[in-house]
Amino acid sequence: MSVINVNNLSKSYKIHEKQQGVINTLKDLFNRKYVYKEAVSNLTMTIEKGEIVGLLGENGAGKTTTLKMLTGILYPTSGKVTVLDYAPTQRKREFLKKIAFVMGNKSEINWDLPAIDTFRYQKLLYQVPDELYKKNIDMLAEMLNVKHLLNIQLRRLSLGERMKMELINSFLYSPEIVFLDEPTIGLDLDSQLAIRKFLREYREERKTTIIITSHYMDDIEETCDRVILLSKGSKIFDGAISEISGLYSANKVLQLVFNQSINPHEFSKYGEIIEFKDNALKLMIEKEQYGSIVTELIHQNKNLVDISITNLPFKNIVHQIMVEGRVS
Amino acid sequence: MRKYLYSFKLYLLASLQYRFDTVLGLIMSNISMLITIFFWIIIYRSNGTGEINGYSIADMITFFVMSSLFRTFILSSGGFEISDMIKSGELGKALIKPHSISMFLYWKHLSNALFEFLKQFSFLLLVVPFFARYLTWDLSVPSAVLVIIYLVTATVISHLLWLLLGMMAFWLEQAQAVMWSFAVILNFLSGMFIPLDFFPRWSVRVLELMPFAAFSYIPAKLYMNQLSVAEGAYLLMVHILWIFVLMALNQMVWRAGTKKYSAVGG
């Protein structure tokens, strides 16, 4: 059963183009130039119940704009959106009670009060029955390991702890769809791991549909079933995580470690340099040439101390697709 | 309704967290009232007459002391908050909650207003002994009831008016200048600088029918027994009518505004 249907969705913003300098600024007061920026163009997608989907793309690719249209914050310029059979922009109360939108860079919880006070407010706002409220708070606080922090003024908590509170705040009314915009932004590894684990476990338990945007590829790789890649407002890839890993399978990553400094450019004839640091070089090479390249390297470089070969990591594949702007 | 009352309580608790801020704010906000009162005492003394425009010195001081108390019920912060929310993109968060933003802001700022009122009241208890001989104290029960109804009406009218102004941010991006100018006009038209019956006779009637009069002029006059209960009740109907007019306007502007809203940032 599909819970989100998006058809030819577009959104363009009208932006006032400001000129440099005092005189031009004064001129601008009378004669403004406007440019139209296409934030999302002709996006079509369907998301099924219980899926965890990652929305990926560079800054300004249209990820957040898409989420805002799905939740009814923004009116689309053209196209059609239905979420749980509602038109989001009508902002019907029944609809709003079924969705949650967590923004990693914006706090929902009152800073001056303990989180539990905000949760009680949320309970009233979303009319959560007492029984369910207690059960959900217990379960969520347990899963995120913050039970002992519920009664502490929010400003005294760390960034990671605060984010966990934001998650509880959004999940406590058992929404059917949760939109997460950069949920792990600025968090330490420990908190990132905890949040990823939480999202996976929660979905298993409740079959909630989750849509995530993140710049941390690990977030996406470890939590999502499926990814949608956006570039300059258009969709360039839509498929399972395993499908992404299958792309560029003709390529491998060769890691070489030397015992003295080298000039990395001498090796660019073998393949593309992905990384060079502390005498360790990572090259993307074609799988078929692996044998011949390695033989040649061993013969010609006496200072080569280690060779290893791995598959192309998820983030490099995504990066490659972004750079090319399409899936080759 | 319960959700709004709960948020009312939450904000009341939050505002109690800062004691120093409370005391300092109280002194600062009253400086202008004290200056006005001293100003009028000097005028009456130097003039040598007991009455100006039908106001004895006691009337005048009572008028300003009461105004300083009643003005705490003017809810303007909701308007400033909505304009900030629009400008910063914070409105997005509020839009996706199953509540009315206008109601939410009303209760939030009403809790602030009540807190302000209590502060102002205790401040006056400290200061009033110095002015006690100037003040008039003859409030009848019906007038008192009417004053309270007026204050409640004032909270609603002022909230709706300021929201309307705040929502200009949908189109202007920077609505603060308009709002501050409006604040000055509002203070003037609600009789906070000078009682409205100092204006020409024909205009007093018009000003009494304007929504601003409910903020401090009419309740102060009722308190002073210079406005009959019958007349106050008649004017109240007009002010309640204003609530409906403003609600309709708010609804229209809100629809058009959210359609245009572009939710900047993040």
Model confidence over A5-18: pLDDT tens digits?
999 999 988 777 77
pLDDT recorded at residue A277: 85
Task: Count CB-CB contacts under 10 A for residue A38.
Answer: 15
Asked if the Cβ–Cβ distance from B261 to A124 is below 8 Å, we say no
pLDDT at A85: 94
Residues B122-166: tens digit of each pLDDT: 888 887 777 777 777 777 888 999 999 999 999 999 999 999 999
Q: Using one digit for the tens of pLDDT, what is the confidence trace for A110-165?
A: 888 899 999 999 999 999 999 999 999 999 999 999 999 999 998 899 989 999 99
% of chain B exceeding 70 in pLDDT: 93
The answer on pLDDT for B266 being more than 70 is: no
8-state DSSP, A312: P
What digits encode the pLDDT tens for the residues A71-117?
999 999 999 999 999 999 999 999 999 999 998 877 788 888 899 99
Please check whether residue A169 is in contact with residue A115, taking contact to mean a CB–CB distance below 8 angstroms.
Answer: yes
DSSP string, B1-48: -HHHHHHHHHHHHHHTT-HHHHHHHHHHHHHHHHHHHHHHHHHHHHH-
Chain B nearest CA to A114, separation (Å): 10
Distance, in angstroms, between B32 CA and closest chain A CA? 31
How much is the pLDDT for A95?
A: 96
Phi, psi of B228 (to 5 degrees): -70, 155
Cα separation, B196 vs A20, in Å, equals 49
Q: Is A84 on the interface with B (CB under 8 A)?
A: no
Q: Spell out where chain B has E strands.
A: 51-52, 55-56
Minimal CA separation from B245 to chain A, in Å: 24
Provide the sign of the torsion angle of the four alpha carbons A137, A138, A139, A141, taken in this order: positive
* Of residues A64, A74, A96, nearest to B266 (C-beta): A64
On whether the pTM is more than 0.90, the answer is: no
So what's the pLDDT on residue B245?
97
- Asked whether A48 and A32 are in contact (CB, 8 A), the reply is no
In whole numbers, what is the pLDDT of chain A averaged over residues?
88
Here the tokens at position A99 are: 């969705």
State yes or no: pLDDT of B22 exceeds 80.
no
Q: Average pLDDT in the A228-249 region?
A: 87
Contact B10 A99 (CB under 8 A): no
Weakest mean pLDDT among A17-21, A196-200, A278-282: A17-21
* Nearest chain A residue to B262, by CA: A74
ipTM: 0.76
The tens digit of pLDDT for each residue in B210-219 reads 999 999 899 9
For chain B, say whether A75 makes contact (Cβ under 8 Å).
yes
Contact B3 A121 (CB under 8 A): yes
Q: Measure the CA–CA gap between B207 and B195, rounded to whole angstroms.
A: 11
* pLDDT tens digits, one per residue of A50-78: 999 999 988 888 898 999 999 999 999 99
Buried b (16+ CB within 10 A) or exposed e, A139-153: bbbebbebeebeeee
Which of the residue ranges A29-43, A268-282, B70-84, B251-265 has the most confident prediction, judged by mean pLDDT? B70-84
- Angle between helix B2-15 and B101-131 (nearest 10): 50
Please indicate if any CB of chain B lies within 8 Å of the CB of A103: yes
- pLDDT of B18 > 70? The answer is no
A108 in contact with B, Cβ within 8 Å: yes
A113 touches chain B (CB under 8 A): yes
Question: Which member of A99, A105, A112 has the closest CB to residue B96?
Answer: A99
Measured CA to CA, the distance from residue B233 to residue A252 in angstroms comes to 85
